[in-house]
Amino acid sequence: MKKKTAFLFPGQGSQFVGMGLDLYEEYDFVREIFDMTDEITKTHISRLCFKGPMEDLTLTVNLQPAVTAVNLSVLAVLEKEGVRPDWVAGHSLGEYSALKAAGVTTAEGTVKLVFERGRLMHREASKNQGAMHAIIGLEIDTVREIVSQAAKKGVVAVANHNAAKQIVTTGAPEPVEYASELATQQGAKAIPLKVSGAWHSELIRGAEKDFRAFLQQIPFQAPVIPLIFNVTADVESDPDQISDIMARQLCSPVRWYDSMCRLQDEGVEIFAEIGPKRVLTGLLRKIVPDNYDHQTFNVDSMKGLEKFLNAMT
């Protein structure tokens, strides 16, 4: 019997210079995806992906379409090879690639969405200085209590519930720093992240109204493959509700841990990270119990692609 497979799409933080280049050189249709991305953004996103510099690639207005172009390229190769997942999910920015994989949006619509999302997020980050810290070693309820205490000093929230004891905080620098101090007092490790804004916090709330309006310009279809959403850790089939969820996603926590637990409840045995690096497979090692029978794959290059295709045939 065919094993249930989930495609997982990475987001910000997975980028590296050179990503997607071997696929670009191998497939005409991958070149078309990068050409389309360059045309939509009026920027040499392909050049940033392949040659950098990393400083420019990491600017969120460039990074969001860049990572998405790589994700969509890998997805396009797998679709051409006839490999279809049973479930899809994406981490924050990666959720837009999951929309395409599920049949909700077209590749062009997806790139337009992430480019506008990146532009608006950059706009708000330029107005409001932000910070994000990873808190390692505490459960979500404890971190929520800490965040509640730190909120007396300003805007702070949970951004990502990545694993049972790996949680990211977001907000203004002082309350985020204070939350980390409280966390370390309880035995946790706090790691400042290199980000240009307080993603998934009230500090980018100013982007939501404009982004919600932009979402209305992009046609959404009902998913043909079930997609687990960040905001709800659940599925949704109504296109209007999906559009609303994606607007809310900007300032809502990413419930990745709950989403991966849901995929286990659904009996998924093969998890394939579709896009650059190994961030999501790294999180899976922290989430999936040792006694749960499963395989993980990283598909971001010709080598990873070959390994995955061999395993799936």
pLDDT 10s per residue in the chain (313 long)? 689 999 999 999 999 999 999 999 999 999 999 999 999 999 999 999 999 999 999 999 999 999 999 999 999 999 999 999 999 999 999 999 999 999 999 999 999 999 999 999 999 999 999 999 999 999 999 999 999 999 999 999 999 999 999 999 999 999 999 999 999 999 999 999 999 899 999 999 999 999 999 999 999 999 999 999 999 999 999 999 999 999 999 999 999 999 999 999 999 999 999 999 999 999 999 999 999 999 999 999 999 999 999 998 7
DSSP lists the bridge partners of residue 134 as 168, 191
Tell me the CATH number at 246. Answer: 3.40.366.10
- Whether 241 and 306 share a structural domain: yes
Closest CA to 257 of 195, 165, 135, 147: 165
**Tens digits of residue pLDDT in 122-143:** 999 999 999 999 999 999 999 9
> Of 175, 194, 213, which residue constitutes the final position of a domain?
194
Q: State residue 2's pLDDT score.
A: 84
> Of 149, 166, 194, which residue constitutes the final position of a domain?
194
Domain that holds residue 166: 131-194
Q: How many domains does the chain have?
A: 2
- Whether 177 and 243 share a structural domain: no
- Whether 185 and 233 share a structural domain: no
> Which residues are marked as active site?
92, 200
- Whether 111 and 178 share a structural domain: no
- Whether 66 and 176 share a structural domain: no
- Whether 289 and 220 share a structural domain: yes
Tell me the CATH number at 145. Answer: 3.30.70.250
- Whether 153 and 177 share a structural domain: yes
Model-level pTM? 0.97
